[in-house]
A = this chain, B = another copy of it.
Amino acid sequence: MKHKFDSNLPIYLQVMEEIKKDIINKKYVLGDKIPSVRELALYYGANPNTIQKALSELEREGLLRSERAVGRYVTDQKERISVLKKEASDTIVENFIRNMKEIGFTKADIIKIIEKSKL
């Protein structure tokens, strides 16, 4: 199953976001092993090196931890995970409101638009 990537953004960044979502949505659970580089490469239709880069970055960010010749695990630091969703939504909301205000909407406008939205 090939994932559709936005060609304007580095794939490894998009993979990072996907995996973060999977952690937030508990598809990958605290302390659990995640699929191997090769499996993820297949799943995302990307090169193993690209996946490796994404995972290394997530490791640097403290979300994953790797065990040589064994596998990669979601960090078992509860607090690290608990703030993840908050961080993600904060960023998304801030960007959204900023973007909308930049094209001339007020906060009241924005709320009305979302209420009307069929999504």
Q: What residues make up the interface of A, taking CB atoms closer than 8 Å to B?
A: 7-10, 13, 21, 24-25, 68, 85, 88-89, 92-105, 107, 110-111, 113-115, 117, 119
How far apart are the CA atoms of A107 and B96 in the complex, in Å?
A: 15
Chain copies in the assembled complex? 4
Return the chain B residue nearest A23 by Cβ: B103
Task: Give 23 CB contacts A-B under 8 Å.
Answer: A7-B68, A8-B9, A8-B13, A21-B102, A21-B103, A24-B103, A24-B104, A25-B103, A25-B104, A85-B103, A88-B103, A89-B113, A92-B96, A92-B99, A93-B100, A93-B114, A94-B117, A95-B96, A97-B119, A101-B119, A107-B117, A111-B111, A114-B114
